[in-house]
Amino acid sequence: MPRKPSPAKPQPPRDWSGALDLFDRHLEDNERSDHTRANYRDDLDDFAGWYEWKYQEKPILAILQPAELRDWKSHMLEDRKYQPATANRKLAALSSFLRWAESEGHRAEIRTPRQVRKVQPPPRWLDLKEQRALLRAAERHAGRREAQLCKLLMHTGLRVEEACDLTWEAVEIRERSGKVTVIGKGRKQRSIPLNAEARAALEELAGCNGSVGRASGPILKGQRGPLTPRGVQSILAKLRRHCDLPELSPHVLRHTFGHNLAVAGTPIQVIADLMGHESLETTRRYVQPGQDDLAAAVERLAGGGDDS
């Protein structure tokens, strides 16, 4: 029998930029978002810029050495004074890139630096008093649209990107129930039931958009068109000044949703499914005491808290 031809060896990329182009194509084929792909590119370009400054030559994928990667880690922490989260993100991007290169036969296996250990602060959420203060401030100083935006985020736990991408076609509202269907991280779909507050917020938003009974297209709109994540963050930043909150962001409202579920005794697996968490370790943060809880506990030692 004739021998089968050996599989063709993968062609090595012409240079670092060529390797990044192939890696970006790999990410796109695996349906990673444009935002994720851009972050990978920025972090890997950052490494390449540092490497050329440090070693007076551009990095060559096939001959990178573990010591050079350790130098990059040290530079980020000691010279640039990056926070652990930033350094870890850049290390993770480099590690993913090198694992891909190894799997494609573009280089041998290489030992990458360990992630930087960091103390995970408790998540910030709004207590009931702060939630009411936020909604009052939105109605008084902003308007119906902004107040309903805050309600929607607090009662669905949507990530800001998910909320901005949400269209009326993904919403189902009935008299006593409803749901929204979103595509979250990793292109995973999930459905979130709508409670009475969330349904009322959506109906108000439809009215604000002049689309009651014929709603279609993006749900979150501003004066100039669909809201972007940056637009939502800007709205919340302005509202924060009117309700005297130390911090207010889409993520704080998402944390508020998760914490409210935990306080209501919702099982942790249910919270994880509603929020689109892959790991229960992420969800466990919502059932742990927050920063304000810790501060109140310490204050009570000095007799400054109310135990009633």
**pLDDT exceeds 50 at position 26:** yes
pLDDT in tens, 249-269: 999 999 999 999 988 889 999
pLDDT value for 294: 63
Q: What stretch of H or E contains 172?
A: strand 171-173
Separation between Cα atoms, residue 308 and residue 295, nearest integer Å: 17
Catalytic annotation, residues: 159, 185, 251, 254, 277, 286
Class for the domain spanning 128-290: mainly alpha
pLDDT value for 60: 93
Strand partners, 87: none
Identify the CA nearest to 201 among candidates 138, 152, 141, 163.
152
Burial of 42 (0-12, 13-18, 19+ CB in 10 A): exposed
pLDDT value for 148: 93
**pLDDT exceeds 50 at position 18:** yes
Strand partners, 183: 189
**pLDDT exceeds 80 at position 8:** no
DSSP structure string for 47-87: HHHHHHHHHSS---GGG--HHHHHHHHHIIIIIS---HHHH
Non-local CB neighbours of 88 within 8 Å, separated by 6+ positions: 115, 116, 118
Share of the chain above pLDDT 90, in %: 61
Render the burial of 175-202: b for 16+ CB within 10 Å, e for the rest.
eeebbbebbbeeeeeeebebeeebbbbb
Q: What share of the chain is helix, strand, coil (3-state, %, to 5)?
A: 60, 5, 35
Residue 175 banded pLDDT, cuts 50, 70, 90: confident
**pLDDT exceeds 90 at position 224:** no
pLDDT value for 256: 94
pLDDT in tens, 66-108: 999 999 999 999 999 999 989 999 999 999 999 999 999 999 9
Most confident range, picked from 117-121, 134-138, 218-222: 134-138
Class for the domain spanning 16-103: mainly alpha
162 Ramachandran zone, left/alpha/beta (phi>0; psi -120 to 50): alpha
